[in-house]
Structure 1
Amino acid sequence: MDRFTIKFRRLLLAWLHRSRSGPVSFLRRFSYKEIKRATDSFHRIFYTNSRGAAYKARFQDGEVALVREVQTLNVKKDAFYREVQLLGRLHHRHLLALRGFSTGRKRLLVFDNIENGSLKEHLNDPLKTPLNWKTRLQIATGVAAALEYLLLFSNPPIYHVSISSSSIMLDENFTAKVSDVGILSSVGNYVTVPNTSCSEDRMNQHCSSIIFQLGMLILELITGQSSEEGGEDLIEWIQESCLSSSVDRMIDPDLGNNYDSRELKKLLAVARLCIKTKDNPTFSIPQISRYLQKKVDVPRQQFLCPQVSFI
C-alpha cells in the first residue's frame, strides 16, 4: 500500500469518526463571544417561552440569523448534542435550517437567514410594509406543510413545536419558516409519544394542541390581531354561529379590499375547524395541509353558518 493510499485511508477514517461522534462534522460551532456580539449582548429578543429566548443576530459578514437559547432543566451535554444532530438533519422549505451551535456559557442554536424578521413584526409594526393577501395565504399553507413534515415524515416525529407569529420567520422572499422546534422536553427528556400518529385515523393531545395553534395563527393572518395578547376575543369571534355579519369589521385594515372573499371564507372555515380541534380532535394536519393546497374539500357539516355557506 503506497503512502498516498495510507494517508487517504487515515483521513477517511478520521472523517468517519467525527461524523459519528457529534454534530461538529456537519454544523458550525460558534463561539460564545461571536454570538454575544452578533446579538448585541443578547438584547435583540424576538420571543421568549418556557424553553428560553430567541434573538436576532447580525454577524460580521452581514448575514442576519436567529439564535435560540436551549434552557431546559438538567440537560446533559450528550442530550444537547443529540438535539443538535436531529435538528440539523431536518430539511423542509418551511423550516428554519440549523446552521450551527454554541456550548459556551449558554447552549445556543444558530438558525438560517431571517432577513425579513418575524411574521409578528410585519403584522404589527406600522413601519413595515403590510403583507398582501397572497403572501398571507402562502404563509398559512407553508406552516401547515411544515407541520405535516414534522409530525409524519420526520424520524423521530417532532411533537414539540410552537406556532405563533413571533416564532414564524420570513426570509428574503417572505417564505414562512417555522423556527421553534425541539426534541427535548422542559425537563431535558426526549419528547416521544409511542404508538401515536397525527394521521387522519389516529389523533392525540399533542397534535390537537398544534392544530389549535395553527388555527390561531390563521386568525391572526386574517385579522391582524395578536393571538398572543387577545386570543380569547379571537376564539369567541370564530365560535360565533354565523360570522357573515362581522367579517368586514374583523379583517385586517391593512388589507383594505385587496383580498379574495371566497378564499377568505375558506380560510376562516379552516381556522374554525382548527380551534374546535382543541377539545374534539377530528381533523388532522394532513387534511388541513391538503385542503389549503386545494386538494380536498372541507366537510359540509363544518359550514360556518347554517344559511350562508362559507365554502
Structure 2
Amino acid sequence: MGTENMFLKIRLLLLALFHLRSQPSPPVLLKRYSYKDIKKATDGFRRVFENSSQEASYKAKFQNGRVGVVREVKLLDEDDDSFSKEVRLLGRLHHRHIVALYGFSTGPRRFLVFENMERGSLKEHLSDPLKTPLNWRTRLKIAVGIAAAVEYLQFFCDPPVYRVSISSSTIMLDENFTPKISGISLSGASEHNATASSRCPKECREEGVIFQLGLLILELITGQSSDKGGVDLAEWVQEPRFLRSIHKMIDPDLGNTYDPRELNGLLNVARLCIRSVDETRIYTPQILWYLQKKIGITRK
C-alpha cells in the first residue's frame, strides 16, 4: 500500500510540474461558417437533434461532404468577443475522448460545428430497448476513457477546464463505441453543471467533476440514471449495506457476463468519487491509475 501511495504522489507531482511548464496550445484553424452555410447544411434547421431554452442541436451535411452536428448556443450575456475567446479555448482541446470542434458561426445567431458521433449518446444505449446492449468490456473502456479525458482537461489544459457536464446524456459514442465528452460548455451554458460558477473555489470545481464521474460509473453498472426522479445512485452507493442490494441494481442487460472482481473495483472507484466532504479527497490521476492498474482496464 505504501508503494502505491508513493507512486500516486509522484504521478500527481509530475502532472503538476508539467502543467506549470507547459505552453499554451498553438492557435487552431477552425473553419468559420456563414449563416447561409449552416442553414443549408441543416436543411433549414429541420434536422433537429434536441431543442432547449439554452441550445439546440442539428444534424448537418456540408457541401464538401462533411457530416457534423451543429449546436446553436443561446447565450444572451456574451458579446461576440467573449464568444470568440471561448471558441478558441474549445478549439484547443485535442483528446481522443473529447468531441472535436470543427468550426463556428457568429452573428445574430451563434453556432458551433462538432464532429458527428455515429452511435449517438451513451444514454440511448443504456435505456433504449431497440439499441444493442453494451457489453461489460465496452462499459469498462468507457469508464477509463472518460477518466482519461477528465485528467487531460484538469492537468494538461491551460487554463484547466472545469465547465464539464458528465453523464450518459453527454457522453457520445462513435462507430467503434469510443466514448467522447460532448458536455464542455461555454460560460453559463449548462444549467446542470454545478462546477461552472467562477465563485466556486478550484477544489470545489474539481470535486464537482469527479462527483459526476462517479455517477457516470454507476450508470454504466446499473443502466439507470439519477435524472428525472430516478434512483438516487449517489445515495444508494453510500449506504452502509449497499453491497446486499447490488444484485438488484446491476443492469439486467449484462446478464452474467461481468467479472465480479471488476464490478467490485468499479463500485469502489464510484464510492471514492462520491464521498462525503469530510473524507480524504481523490484526484483524477488516482482514479485513472486505479482503473488501469488495479482493475486492469486498457484503452485501445
Q: Secondary structure at the match of 1:244?
A: helix
2:103 to 75, 78, 100: 100
After TM superposition, list the pairs within 5 Å mapping 1:190-201 onto structure 2: none
Q: Which ranges of 4 or more aligned residues in structure 1 deviate by more than 6 Å?
A: 191-194
- Cα distance change on mapping 1:295 and 1:253 into 2, 3 Å: closer
Hey, what's the Cα distance between the residues in 2 that align with 1:141 and 1:106? 37
Indicate the SS of the match to 2:98. coil
Deviation string for 1:27-84 (max 9, x for gaps)? Answer: 1122334434544626623475x85344444556665423223223321111111111
1:243 corresponds to:
242
Alignment-derived partner of residue 161 in structure 1: 164
Q: Structure 1 length as normaliser, TM-score? A: 0.75
Where does structure 2 lack aligned partners over 5 or more consecutive residues? 1-26, 191-195
Match of 2:68 in 1: 65
Partner of 1:178: 181
Q: Measure the CA separation in 1 of the matches of 2:230 and 2:279.
A: 19
- In 1, Cα distance between the equivalents of 2:152 and 2:117? 21
Q: 2: CA distance between counterparts of 1:38 and 1:75?
A: 26
Kept after mapping to 2: 8 A contact 1:208/1:277: no
Aligned match of 1:200:
none
Shift in CA distance, 276/84, structure 1 to aligned 2, threshold 3 Å: same
Distance 2:153 2:115 in 1: 18
CA pair 283-51 structure 1, distance change in 2 beyond 3 A:
farther
- 1:121 equivalent to 2:127? Answer no
Other-structure match for 1:221: 220
Normalised by the length of structure 2, the TM-score is: 0.78
Name the SS for the 1:210 alignment partner. helix
The 2-side partners of 1:156 and 1:141 are apart by: 23
Q: Which amino acid aligns with 1:243?
A: F
Per the alignment, residue 262 of structure 1 pairs with 261
The structure number with the bigger radius of gyration is 1
Superposed CA offset, 1:120-152 (max 9, x none): 111111111111111111111111110111111
2:277 and 2:213 map into 1 onto residues whose CA distance is: 11
Output one character per residue of 1:192-222: Cα deviation in whole Å (capped at 9) or x when no partner. Answer: 979x76xxxxxx1101111111111111111
Worse-matched range after superposition: 280-289 or 211-220: 280-289
Question: Percent same amino acid among aligned pairs?
Answer: 59
**Post-superposition shift, 1:103?**
1.4
- Tell me the matched-pair count: 264
Unaligned runs of at least 5 residues, structure 1: 1-22, 198-203, 298-311
Give the residue type in structure 2 aligned to 1:45: F
Q: Which of 87, 92, 117 is the aligned partner of 1:89?
A: 92
